[in-house]
Structure 1
Amino acid sequence: MPKCHTGLCLSVYVLTFVLGFPANILAFYTFCKKVRQKATPIDIFLLNLTVSDLLFLLFLPFKMQEVMDDMMWNMPYIFCHLSGFIFFMTIYNSTFFLMAISVERYLGVAFPIQHSLKRRPVYAAAASIFFWIFSIIHLSIVLIIPFIASQPRICYEDFTDAQLEVLLPVRLELCIVLFCIPFFISSFCYINFIRILSSLQHINRRKRLRAIGMALGTLVVFALCFGPYNVSHIVGFVQWKSPDWRDNALLCSTFNACLDPFIFYFSSSAMRGSVSSVWQGVTKRLPGCLSCRVPRVLKISSSNNSAPGQLWHQLQFGE
């Protein structure tokens, strides 16, 4: 099976790591602080999504080394199974948390009073634990496959017929359960989220447009990052072989780890405040740079927590 071009794969992995790791570290700090102070369901889901992305990024250097070794596994073989498991488990785990965030957003605008009275952080924590366990169980196939007529020094690549007999149906099930269902639920929630917000003309126009942009952006990221790779599962099942372009499709899923922080920024005022603080800290250390001034949008975003707008923002956006 043709492999992803070394330069292309390595470029995507390095870019994702360089952009995604510091952004997710900032998000992790922000949401940990927010959860300790006053946890809300949306904060818990965003924190778990950040943890999933950080796990993915921490094991991404193993994939970089594998690419540089022409897809031959020259590291301790135990890390082959572990890195492959973390790599795929966190990719699919992200779909659940993106789905949970969309449900939380939709309920916040569709049933603001009822939802604000019934929502409890403990429910979000329980759902998060379920998502982790569910993803771990489903992706355990990554740990099992190498032991079925395994080939030495090859890590989850060039599968035998015996391995494909098990793997192809499982991939189809992963596509349906861990991608299609979360994507359809997210699409339903965000489409109705946009419809409801568009009808609320008394709401501040800038806030409304920002929320609509966040919803559309999340759906686009969801489709572009996870769609191609999961389509390869369907094609592979129909053709009963791994498609030649599967590795290239997987690169789209890799990008999700550095795109999620943009979702965090538009989803959380705490994240916007952290970005603003970091930017101010940077500009203070660059006194000679006349153009390094805090963008007006960051200042405005960080001031949106003041009353009376804060109450509506908490009810409608879950913060």
Structure 2
Amino acid sequence: MELFILAYYIIIFLFGLPANILALYAFSCKIHTKASPTDVLLLNLTVSDLLFLLCLPLKMYEVASGMHWLLPQTLCLLSTFVFYTTIHNSSILLTATSVDRYLCVGYAVWYRQHVRAMHGVLASVFIWILSSAHFIYLYLIELMPDSSSPSSGVCYDNFTEAQLGVIQPIRLELCVVFFILPLLVSSFCYVRFILILSRISRLQPEKRRRAAGMAVGTLLVFVVCFMPYNITHILGYIQGGSVGWRTEALLLTATNAILDPIIFYFSSSTFQGSTRKVICLMWSNGCCKTKCTSPPVEAATAGGGATA
């Protein structure tokens, strides 16, 4: 099983890192031209995924060491904080993006008059603070006198019964705040978003497909990546202890770092244009020296910014 986990993390890292770097380039370019709140939120989502990926080598080393933590305890605390914060950060950022898209098409006049890119910045700051604050509190529990000592060789996975009595209710609250509510809000917004777009006869089929792709892809991330892990929170609270398959469920959350860029590609003309530009530049530098054109400047996603 450890060999499978290690291979899984390596695949996520090798494919996710370049894909998210490309997404970072695409959304950074978009923000410097004509930014929308959606662009800002997706840029923050990409940064969150990149931070998650940068922690994976430490997780790989832990798995390769037989699930024993042989590195300094400070790195254990830091990697755990970034690992879990970015996981929960992603669900809220995806939800905020769904709300922004729904407002853009459902209240188009009001949206154009009142919503600016700065609102995306403020929402992103609040989301980072919200997710970080939750896991700072969990750190305080880890550092309690009864917590496992660094000599135990286990990183954030060796709690006493007293600590589990405090942690389980917090994990249940995490499930509600970072999964159940975001899933309900995202589902409502994207269902309404698609219904509104279906009634716009002049909307181009390509933009309609991009909108549907982003909606379906986002809900797929919630179901595939976040649902199993959050189910372990509920079962752990009911059973009063950690669930046996929690490690496997946590493994699925790492898939989010790959699925996000895939969703960006199939739903964003900006991301598609940037991908083609990078591939063209790599091909021309290596082979034929062809001229590459810049990606089109348009809204980062269907329904975001000025276009649907």
**Alignment check: 8 A CA contact 2:95 2:185 kept:** yes
Instruction: Output the aligned Cα RMSD.
Output: 2.3
Q: 1:70 to 1:313 in 2, by over 3 A?
A: closer
Q: Which runs of 4+ in 1 moved over 6 A?
A: none
Provide TM-score, normalisation by structure 2.
0.90
Rate the CA distance shift 1:305–1:76 in 2: closer, same or farther, 3 A.
closer
Q: Secondary structure at the match of 1:140?
A: helix
Give the structure 1 partner of residue 128 of structure 2: 132
Tell me, which stretches of 5 or more residues in structure 2 are unaligned?
Answer: none
Which residue identity lines up with residue 159 of structure 1 in the other structure?
Answer: F
Q: Look up the match of 1:53.
A: 49
- Which amino acid is the alignment partner of residue 20 of structure 2? N
- Superposition deviation, residue 158 in structure 1: 3.2
Aligned-partner Cα distance in 1 for 2:139–2:270: 38
Aligned partners of 2:158, 2:24: CA distance in 1, in Å? 37
Contact 1:146 / 1:155 at 8 angstroms: preserved in 2?
Answer: no
TM-score, length-scaled by structure 1? 0.87
Alignment of 1:123-202 (within 5 A): 123-148=119-144, 149-151=146-148, 152-202=152-202
Select the residue among 69, 75, 81 that pairs with 1:79.
75
8 Å CA contact 2:213–2:267 kept in 1: the answer is no
Instruction: Specify whether residues 123 and 313 from structure 1 end up closer, same or farther in structure 2 by C-alpha distance, changes over 3 A only.
Output: closer
Whichever residue aligns with residue 13 of structure 1, its letter is Y
Distance 1:252 1:15 in 2: 13
1:17 alignment partner AA = F
Matched, 1:92 2:77: no
Unaligned runs of 5+ in 1: 289-293
Q: 1:257 to 1:305 in 2, by over 3 A?
A: closer
The count of corresponding residues between Structure 1 and Structure 2 is 299
Task: Please report how far the alpha carbon of residue 316 of structure 1 lies from its aligned counterpart in structure 2 after TM superposition.
Answer: 4.1
CA, structure 1 residues 226+280, in 2 after alignment: closer, same or farther (shift >3 Å)? same
The answer for the alignment partner of 2:212 in structure 1 is 212
Q: Supply the distance in 1 between the matched residues of 2:304 and 2:212 (Cα, whole angstroms).
A: 14
After superposition, the C-alpha distances for 1:76-109 in whole angstroms (9 at most, x for unaligned) are 1110111011100000011111001111111122
The residue matched to 1:241 in structure 2 has which SS? coil
Give the Cα–Cα distance (whole angstroms) in 1 for the partners of residues 303 and 30 of structure 2: 19
8 A Cα contact 1:109 1:316, kept in partner: no
Question: Quick one: percent identity of the two aligned structures?
Answer: 45
Q: Give yes or no for contact 2:179–2:230 (8 Å, CA) kept in 1.
A: yes
Distance between the aligned counterparts of 1:155 and 1:63, measured in 2? 10
Contact 2:105–2:303 under 8 Å retained in 1: no
Letter paired with 2:306:
L
Post-superposition offset of 1:150: 2.2
CA gap of 1:33–1:204, structure 2 versus 1, over 3 A, is closer
